[in-house]
Amino acid sequence: MIAKILQQHTFYITTKIDSTREIKGILQQETRYYISDEEVVRPAYYNALARGHRGIENLLHWHLDVTFKEDDCRARTGNAPLNLSTMRKLALQLLSNRNDKHSLKKRQYKAALDIGYMKKILNF
């Protein structure tokens, strides 16, 4: 499918962005590649995309840590980390879909205590 899309489009610009950051004395390097079918794209456009994506990832991690204490989880071997991460993200999505006045953490707590509320969260 990707090959078909690539054949149907003319790509004008490929961009490589190397970024380096230092956090607590540890140097992290990352390389990102972008392909565009625009004839002219300013570098600021790609920087905005990268920063926006990073903000979304940071917000997701914040929700997972605050609501589910993900950073405190000691599961580190085998399939456990991936399985638990998948379940947390699924639960986060289900809790986020519920439009009420409660925070995500409060919705989780309420669903644990009230089977009727849990059924509403699960759309049963």
Question: For the residues 6-10, what does the mean pLDDT come to?
Answer: 64
66-73: which pairs have CB atoms within 8 A and are 24 or more residues apart? 66/104, 66/105, 67/92, 67/95, 67/104, 67/105, 67/108, 68/92, 68/108
**Considering only 19-28, 99-108, 114-123, which range has the smallest mean pLDDT?**
19-28
Average per-residue pLDDT for the chain:
82
Angle at 89 between CA 99 and CA 108, to 5 degrees: 50
In angstroms, rounded to a whole number, what is the distance separating the alpha carbons of residues 9 and 23?
40
Reported confidence tier of residue 1, pLDDT bands at 50, 70, 90: low
- Percentage of the chain beyond pLDDT 90 is 28
pLDDT (average), residues 96-111: 91
For the stretch 49-90, pLDDT in tens is: 767 666 666 788 888 888 888 888 888 899 999 999 999 999
Band of pLDDT at residue 13, cut at 50, 70 and 90: low
